[in-house]
Amino acid sequence: MHYFDHNSTTPLAPEVATTLSAALRDVYGNPSSTHRAGQLARQRLEHSRRTIAETLHVSPAEIVFTSGGTESNNLAVLGLLRTLPKPAHAVTLAIEHPAVLEPFRQLEHEGVAVTYVKSAECVAAALRDDTILVSLMHANNETGAVQPIDDIAQLVAARRASGQTIYLHSDGVQAFGKIPVDLSHPAVDLYSITAHKIFGPKGIGALFVRKNTPLQRIQFGGRHERERRPGTENVPAAIAFAHSVELATAASIGAMADLRNEFESNLSSRLTDIQINASDSPRLPNTSNILFRGVSSEALVIALDMRQMAVSTGAACSSGSLEPSHVLLAMGLSRDEARSSLRFSFGRYNTSAEIAALTEAVVDSVNKLRRRTSKEARLAG
């Protein structure tokens, strides 16, 4: 199987698998226990926290371990808004991941007014005097489009300087480990990340919570993670997460960009009626979302899978949905165009030889599907 679906999840890096296996065997103590085994677990947990914090250029005390990106987003959105007085207003993008959109819909049930804007350029016009939270993904999981976080941070900072209580959250799940992330400037207050998008294990993530940012727990139990997220910490997974962070180097990021560019160039020279979605925006180095006119993306996924090529139409959590991508629709594509678009997301273990094989498989499959569609149309007519 040739794997080109890294935005859904990445395989566990061999080095990280070794680290995880050793930690599962050796670091078994509860980090809240006072005996030696517990204190060893605590030391390893805090070392992992420091590693992740250093990558983000923040304090270790500002890192909260969670079960992954979805929990981090829920904790950020619900945990912040539930601490603040209502009525209140919040702004987010219509192209956000469901892990952000669904918490916002829950907030609407709780009396918070929410504005869903089509693009980051619309955020400024959507802000109100009672806006408390802006949530803007750092990079889109389907198209790879990188959002202008710094510009939005400046808007939030200006509002805050004028005396408004307002915070900025960013879902960094797709961006972290693929582009530089520096949270040392004070405008981004909450930032969500996860391990399984960067060759780490599933079931471990983190939320950056800037000092003095109000946050109410959304689960109840012990006083773990500075009373922000109860439950015994998953120490072996946190250790593996930190190792996966260390492996995300500039060289590996550059290599992914080279593969993505090679693939898009190959297809553009050999197929007509295709469009690279979001190509006019800054994009993640590993992500290519392509519209193949006259082809069902679901049929193309199946055709490629039969040739041992793993790709996807978009977010794995929406797999099986009969509805076209809400991201592509918000970008202005028609329903038919959205249903004809496919995502290819590359990783550090892909090779140029695999790109050549993928190109051949895509070109052959698209041509066959177009011929079949044309024949069916003739017979129907």
Other C-beta atoms closer than 10 Å to the C-beta of 275 total 15
Tell me how far apart the alpha carbons of residues 238 and 244 are, in angstroms, rounded to a whole number.
Answer: 10
Strands laid side by side in the 112-117 sheet:
63-66, 205-209, 190-194, 167-171, 131-135, 88-93, 112-117
* Cα first-last separation, the chain: 39
Tell me how far apart the alpha carbons of residues 96 and 140 are, in angstroms, rounded to a whole number.
Answer: 7
**Contact assessment for residue 188 and residue 154, using Cβ atoms and an 8 Å cutoff:** no
Show the tokens assigned to 66. 């969670």
Tell me how far apart the alpha carbons of residues 147 and 120 are, in angstroms, rounded to a whole number.
Answer: 7
The residues, any chain, with a CB within 8 Å of residue 332's CB and separated by 6 or more, are: none
Show the tokens assigned to 245. 């962070």
C-alpha distances (whole Å) from 295 to each of 131, 244, 337, 365 are: 43, 37, 9, 10
Q: Which of 122, 248, 310, 317 is catalytic?
A: 317
Is residue 317 annotated as a catalytic residue, yes or no? yes
Residues with a catalytic annotation lie at 317
